Structure 1
Amino acid sequence: MKRIVRILGFSGKEDTYLDIIAAIQGHFQPEKIEIIFVASEQNPDQPDKGFQQSQFVNKLHSKLSDIAKEHSAYKSCESIPLTAENIRRDEVNTILLGVLAVDVTAAPKDLAINLISNALRYGEPPVYYVKWLTKFERGKQNRIGTDPYVYEDLTKLDEARLLSRSYRSQSYLLLSLLLVVCIIAIIAGSSRWYPSLDIFNDILSIISIAAGFVGLMMAVFQSGLREGITRKNW
């Protein structure tokens, strides 16, 4: 696997990504950083394919060079290969494929939740977020290497661990229920020839209702965990 890190992009403003790139470079030293913009009517000013994307990348490198004059943590970012791409919203999960990590610092909450959830389902990759440890001050710009921060893997939070276990438990439960339902359905189907087995039709109905209820409860539980993950960071 190539050492590629992807940033889930939304805003078309270069300044949004400068500190993220520095955090990625300091943490991973990747071969390349890809900024993947998710198309949205809420933010139509994203750089489109071709010339606009080239301009966007050139401006990023230029601004990183300017910051590096005063903040050494950005020095190594001047030469890091950067690319910008656009995808549709229904393609967002492709961001998880074949990469070292994904950053969602610049992503809106709903997209971040979706990406974290699917990363937990697939078992990879880690999903990171730049979390500043300073209090907000109007007019002050935090910088990597100068102001305290943590580069947090959101898939390692307690809520994420519970969510991951919940997904595994859900898979095992669904497989078990499917097996039980299939067996009972076969037995119930035999009641046409063996009337004494007719009770299994009632059992099948009860199990189907119970399975639906359990599925609903697990969905509510998982939704709460997803909200817990983002509540700490957004």
Structure 2
Amino acid sequence: MMAYRGHGAACRRLAATLLGGLPLALLLASLPAAAGPFLFGGASFAGGGERSEYAGITGNLTPVPFLTQKLVVSDYHYKYGTNGTTVSVNGQAAEAALGVQKGWATGWAEASVGARYRYNRVSPEGADNRSDGGEWGLALTVLGQQEFARNWAVNGIASYNFGPRAYWARGRLLYKVFGDAWAGVEFIKHGDPFYHATQGGVVVTGIAIGKGVNLGFFGGAKKTAGEPRAFYGGLELSKAF
């Protein structure tokens, strides 16, 4: 289970990025549910002024060892093209979720379900009422990591938010470079019925900068429907207790 304890933080960083807001540029290797609280946060940016910031906490508040509870809040700005108009969206979101997780010698997996509320403000006013205002959703998320060969791992997450019909999926191919740090490549797809984006780039995660504190960086190219290609980048931070 020691391998699982090390990767658990990555799982939660991964989930944190995703749950922090959509669209995002997320996430994680986590501690088992029986461990103490786990704080996470981060920020991402992309060309054209797009950005996202998120913060959250996860842990086990029940006597059932494999259950986890998560709370995530986020703030974001993104844009997309529709009918010849560039639509800008500023919004905030909050999610509370309950999950189950399982670890083994070379990996871990987690699934969660939760309520998510987002409030968007669209400009120019009236440009796209489908994305404007507040909306509740039911978010389903699965994520996990599996090591293979020597020092290699695959890491993935997928989430679907019923209501807004928003999706977010990411895959990472990682190589352990030193300590608990991993480096590799990532591929991301996210959007909803009116917004679609594809991203691909490089990532370094799990860099220890203090007791229980880990830092990660990522960056690459992003293409949003109706918008030109742009650079994206960001960081992720976590603290295990």
Q: Same fold (TM over 0.5)?
A: no
Q: Which has the higher helix share?
A: 1
